[in-house]
Amino acid sequence: MDKNNKLIRKDEQLPVVAIAGRPNVGKSTLFNRLLHKRRAITDPTPGVTRDAVFVDTEILGRPLRLVDTGGFKLDREQDSPEAELDRIVVERTLDVIKKADLIVLLFEAGELKGEDEEFIALLRPYQKKLLAAVNKTEGGRREAEAWNFLSFGFEKVYMISAEHGDNIRDLQEAIVERLSEREKGEERREQRAESKEQGAEKVILYGKLRGSGSGRRLVLRWRLRGCLFCR
C-alpha cells in the first residue's frame, strides 16, 4: 500500500491539515512549532525534507493529523540523477494536498518569487480549503511586502514567524475554525442528500400504492405543496 494512502484515508476520523509551499519557506519549522516539539528536519538547503511527515496531534484541543509535505521543487532539472526522485516527491505531495481537509499554504516574507506564483496557480483548484500564511515576519519585518499576497485572491493572509512564534495563536485559531466550518458544510450536504433520498423513496412508494395515474398527480402535488402525507 502506498504510504500516503495508508496515512490519509477518507474513512479516517481525524481531519488532515497539510503544510505546503516552495522549498525553504519554513514548512518544517512551522510543523515543529504547531507540534510544540521537533519532529521534522529543518535545514536552510532547499529540498532537504524529501518525504512527507505525518503526526497525529491536537491544535487548541482539536485532534487532527498534521502533515509536513516533502521538498516540493517546481523548478526541477531534467534528466538529472535526482530528476526521478523529484518527480516522485511531487506526485506524493500533490496526493497529500488532494486528500487533505485543509492546506496551509506557506510563503516567505519578501519579494514575491515566480515559484510562489506557480504554486498558487497549481493549488487554485483547492482554493476553498486553502489558508495562506507568510512566514518570517517577526516584529513586523517585511510585512508591507507580504500584503502583496492578497492580490492573488486570498481572503486573509496570516503574518507569522514559525521560528519565534509571532501570531502562531492566530493561525491555530484559523485552522480550528476552518475545520469546524468544513465539517458543518459536510453535515449539511449529507442531510440534504438524505432528505432528497427519503423524498424520492416516498414518491415512488405512494405512486405504487395509489396507481400510476394517482402517482403522477401525487408527484406534481408533492413538488408544488410538499409531502401530503407528512402533515
Same domain (yes/no): 115, 204:
no
List, for residues 108-145, the tens digit of each pLDDT value: 998 888 888 888 988 999 999 999 999 999 988 888 88
Percent of the chain at pLDDT above 70? 64
Residues whose CB falls within 8 Å of the CB of residue 223, separated by 6 or more in sequence, listed in order: none
In this prediction, residue 163 carries a pLDDT of 94
Same domain (yes/no): 101, 165:
yes
Domain range for 120 = 3-184
Same domain (yes/no): 45, 126:
yes
Same domain (yes/no): 152, 226:
no
Same domain (yes/no): 44, 9:
yes
Confirm whether 189 is domain-assigned: no
Confirm whether 100 is domain-assigned: yes
Same domain (yes/no): 90, 178:
yes
Confirm whether 210 is domain-assigned: yes
In this prediction, residue 83 carries a pLDDT of 73
Confirm whether 104 is domain-assigned: yes
Same domain (yes/no): 37, 109:
yes
pTM: 0.72
What is the average pLDDT score of the chain? 78
Confirm whether 113 is domain-assigned: yes
Confirm whether 145 is domain-assigned: yes
List, for residues 164-216, the tens digit of each pLDDT value: 999 999 999 999 999 999 888 666 666 666 666 666 565 565 555 555 555 55
Report the domain count for the chain. Answer: 2
* Across 94-103, 142-151, 162-171, least confident range: 142-151
Same domain (yes/no): 144, 206:
no
Confirm whether 190 is domain-assigned: no
Same domain (yes/no): 114, 224:
no
Same domain (yes/no): 66, 132:
yes
Confirm whether 94 is domain-assigned: yes
Q: What is the CATH number of the domain that holds 121?
A: 3.40.50.300
Own/partner long-range contacts of 5-13 (Cβ < 8 Å, ≥24 apart): 7/54, 7/65, 8/54, 8/65, 8/67, 8/95, 8/96, 8/99, 8/100, 10/99, 12/65
Same domain (yes/no): 142, 203:
no
DSSP for the chain, please give it: --HHHHH--TT-SS-EEEEE-STTSSHHHHHHHHHTS--S---SSTT---S-EEEEEEETTEEEEEEE-----SS--SSSTTHHHHHHHHHHHHHHHHH-SEEEEEEESSSPPHHHHHHHHHHGGGGGGEEEEEE--GGGTTHHHHGGGGGGT-S-EEE--TTT-TTHHHHHHHHHHHHHHHHHHHHHHHHHHHHHHHHHHHHHHHHHHH-HHHHHHHHHHHHHH--GGG-
